[in-house]
Amino acid sequence: MSLKKTLKSDGRTTALCYVRQSWTRTPEDQDSPDRQKSNIQAVCDLHGWTAEWYVDAEGHKTGTKVTNRPGWLALEARLKDADVVAIVANDLARLHRKGWRIGNLLDFADEHGVKLVLAAPGKQMDFSTPQGRALAQMSAIFDEWYAIDISQRAKDMIAHRKRNGKSMGLPPFGTIRDKDGYLTPSPDGAWLLPDGSFVNATSDARPDPAAIWRGYYDAAGRVLDLYSQGSAGLDTIAYTMQIEGWAFRDREGSPAPFEGDDVRRIVANWAEYGGYVYQARARERHPHDHDLSKINLIEERAVFPIELLYKVGEIRRRRTMRRVGSYGLKKNAHPYPLQGLVYCAHCERKATAKQNPKLRSRLGGHTNNAGTVHRYRHKPGSLCGCKARTVKAEFVERDFLRLLQMLTVDTAQIDLMTELGIQLMRLDTPSDELDLEAQKRAAIARCQRKIDAAVTLFGEGRIDKDEYHRRIEQNEREIAHWEARTTDTEKIGLELAVCIEAVNKIATLWEAGSDEDKQGLVRSLFHYIVYDLDAQQIVGFRLKPWADRFITLRGNLDDVKVNGGAGVECNAEGQSPVGVTAVPSP
């Protein structure tokens, strides 16, 4: 399809613009997404469309699947909306590398009157013709074949490297690959400053006279040495590494304090440090599956002493076998109602003070070996200042029930809270937005008159059948658009009613419902909860963005003054329930 030919939009103006990059290795690897965006924006500007962007350009985003592409899934959810005029992508391969998916997309676009437009120079196709659709199907088949061929080549290359003792993927912590592809000690590291923070720099560029160099290779050796002693667990080693001032390197190459999972990653790579390359992927192997006598480390390729590495491997296998033999490899997971939502208050304060959200930590569920005691446990291997590391689940959930009871509102107070919301809304709403209801009525009446006029013109033979259907469809679409819009009063009332019902429902079912039901209900309303392990109480929380208005008005509800029917007076800033901080959405 030629870009010089402007497409008709039938009053619709939103173009769903999709960008995909198959593999993004670093945050700086954005040449392809930027090029795609530039081409797509040019198409939108040409047709006067408003671009709505959906991007899958982080990590591995294959075109043969859709489950790992959240951007595409979000775009699909918008396809049936009345304001969508087109899907714009750089080329067909960015959308899918499956022939049948392209066929389904073309059928869907025809059914809903959505245009499919390609933006790359020389890639345009007219999908409205049989020739264009046939060409699209052929291109999709070639794209699918190309993806399969590339996959086979990559697997063959990986197998070849492994046969030659060369590992794939990110090198184990503390190492890099030399020109031949084998592991060698990494010269990288971080400077430990007097205030306990780390700075990325070379070993010869001291940022402060009192700074101490902490190399990543030396840090990995220290972890292996501590683990080989056999007396310390992963978390204990992580605490030791933090106290001694060692840093771990995250996936972006930045220094970070050690955690229990970082120690696990290092000891799990004990064989790779010795020049051994597993044929199976890490997710497909387990320590108890391997016979250490058949794992032959290569001394000339080992980056640490092989005696130390064998000792680490033996201890790791012994500990794993002990757990498997006593309790079984898998245990039924207890469905903690608040798991994934509760954050440590000490870590929260630390993250806020240092403006580093990576320092936040969730409390995970932990069940004793007998399966009789359930606790919420602090993230292992992370020091934040709290003395208590676990708390019984019943204490956390009992405090959460108290929070729900504080938030609960009698449905008879919805009208009062709605009036409060209207007053708060008027403080920030421009006057030209307050007459939405009048605009809505006028626009619907105007569209109805246009429909009546089209019926008259068609009956008199002044317009043909196609033009008649076009006018009817366009005006019915605009009427549906206006009817979907609500006034601020209706919107506030609806939001409050839904939120009040959700809070009251959770509070009612909390004691009688199952843990699975509680988990689903809580996640539908709460974004996160902040819990102080030492004080054993909830000290903060955040509701979902759609419920933010509720917490503001709930705080004002106790302080309102009703002036004899003259109205409600309240402050512009809402107060949260006593004793708990309600954090507004950013």
Kindly report, residue by residue over 165-203, the tens digit of the pLDDT. 666 668 889 998 888 888 899 999 999 988 888 888 777
Give the predicted TM-score (pTM) of the model.
Answer: 0.52
**pLDDT value at residue 216:** 93
pLDDT surpassing 80 at residue 310: yes
Contact of 216 with 174, CB cutoff 8 Å: yes
Q: Give dist(CA 53, CA 38) in Å, integer.
A: 12
Closest CA to 437 of 497, 390, 384, 482: 482
**pLDDT value at residue 330:** 47
**pLDDT value at residue 326:** 46
25 pLDDT band, cuts 50/70/90, is low
pLDDT, tens digit, 9 for 90 and up, residues 50-109: 999 999 988 778 888 888 888 998 898 888 888 899 999 998 888 888 877 888 888 888
pLDDT, tens digit, 9 for 90 and up, residues 521-558: 788 778 889 999 999 999 988 877 666 655 555 555 55
Total number of residues shown for the chain: 586
How many CB atoms within 10 Å of residue 534?
12
pLDDT, tens digit, 9 for 90 and up, residues 412-444: 555 665 565 555 555 444 454 446 667 777 888
Q: How far is CA 308 from CA 204, 303, 411, in A?
A: 30, 11, 67
Q: Give dist(CA 108, CA 84) in Å, integer.
A: 13
**Mean per-residue pLDDT over the chain, rounded:** 77
Contact of 403 with 576, CB cutoff 8 Å: no
The radius of gyration computed from the CA coordinates of the chain, to the nearest angstrom, equals: 31
- Give 432-489 as a DSSP string: GGTTHHHHHHHHHHHHHHHHHHHHHHHHTTSS-HHHHHHHHHHHHHHHHHHHH---HH
Q: What is the pLDDT averaged over residues 323-338?
A: 60
Share of the chain above pLDDT 90, in %: 13
**pLDDT value at residue 572:** 33
Closest CA to 165 of 142, 185, 183: 183
